């Protein structure tokens, strides 16, 4: 498992994908941070920064996941991967953790921006910490979704587009809800919404139910990926 993890992690930085992701993420997050906090003056809002950052995930996270399994199929190296002395869950987890490491490392590095707020003011540490935890949880769930989609196709572009569409559905269900009058459907959409469950963390409250939801969502999509490869191994 560790060998696959190291190989995948290294692959991000021997191709443009890793550099494009890091540059795009840091550039966009820096612009959002400057606009919502430093330039906003008294109207500055750390919560707005993290909420907008959540929207950025829809675009940038598929860059990390689109090649994970689709590349194996395109390069015809999938049989070698399936015959390696590691369990299918270990294989899937190794690829997931490699993508998550790049994401988490980049995001935590971007958090150095908050030094400026502490130098020039006294931001609410509980709110910042709650948002950081929530972003890491949401990022993990989004990456797990991307891993699953990547296992379904050998085309990286298709994997990226489908992942974006699924993430849009998860993130923007709150917006869709405002146009639906049926309570039962509204309740279901609110339950699956990534954004609604993000709110408590955004206000500095630790939400155990949201924590369980994000971890469960990640597990479900990683488990589905394992099932895809179980079927493929014996077909």
Q: Which residues of 183-212 are buried (b: 16+ CB within 10 A; e: fewer)?
A: eeebeebeeebbbbbbbbbbebeebeebbe
| Count: domains in the chain | 1
pLDDT at 75 over 70: yes
pLDDT digit string, tens, across residues 135-161? 999 999 999 999 999 999 888 899 999
Domain of residue 146, residue span: 2-234
Note the pLDDT of residue 44: 64
In whole angstroms, give the CA distance from residue 151 to residue 233: 13
Note the pLDDT of residue 1: 79
Note the pLDDT of residue 178: 66
Q: Are 214 and 137 in contact (CB under 8 A)?
A: yes
pLDDT at 7 over 90: no
Note the pLDDT of residue 174: 67
Question: Sorting pLDDT into bands at 50, 70 and 90, what band is 183?
Answer: low
Higher pLDDT, 200 or 14: 14
In whole angstroms, give the CA distance from residue 221 to residue 224: 5
Contacting residues for 74 by C-beta, under 8 A, at least 6 apart: 154, 155, 156
Tokens of 77: 């190296």
Note the pLDDT of residue 93: 94
Question: Sorting pLDDT into bands at 50, 70 and 90, what band is 42?
Answer: low
């Amino acid at each position: 498992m560790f060998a696959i993890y190291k190989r995948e992690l290294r692959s991000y930085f021997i191709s443009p994908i890793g550099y494009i992701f890091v540059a795009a993420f840091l550039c966009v997050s820096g612009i959002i941070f400057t606009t919502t906090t430093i330039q906003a003056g008294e109207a500055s809002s750390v919560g707005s920064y993290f909420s907008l950052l959540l929207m950025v995930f829809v675009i940038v996270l598929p860059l990390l996941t689109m090649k994970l399994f689709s590349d194996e199929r395109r390069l015809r190296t999938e049989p070698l991967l399936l015959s390696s002395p590691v369990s299918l869950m270990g294989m899937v987890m190794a690829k997931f953790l490699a993508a998550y490491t790049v994401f988490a490392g980049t995001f935590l590095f971007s958090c150095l921006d908050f030094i400026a707020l502490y130098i020039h003011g006294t931001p609410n540490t509980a709110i910042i910490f709650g948002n950081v935890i929530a972003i890491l949880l949401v990022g993990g769930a989004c990456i797990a979704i991307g891993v699953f989609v990547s296992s379904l196709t050998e085309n990286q572009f298709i994997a990226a587009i489908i992942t974006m569409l699924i993430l849009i559905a998860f993130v923007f269900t709150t917006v869709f809800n405002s146009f639906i009058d049926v309570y039962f459907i509204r309740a279901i959409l609110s339950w699956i919404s990534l954004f609604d469950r993000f709110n408590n963390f955004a206000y500095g409250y630790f939400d155990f139910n949201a924590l369980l939801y994000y971890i469960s969502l990640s597990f479900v999509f990683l488990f589905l990926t394992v099932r895809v490869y179980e079927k493929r191994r014996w077909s």
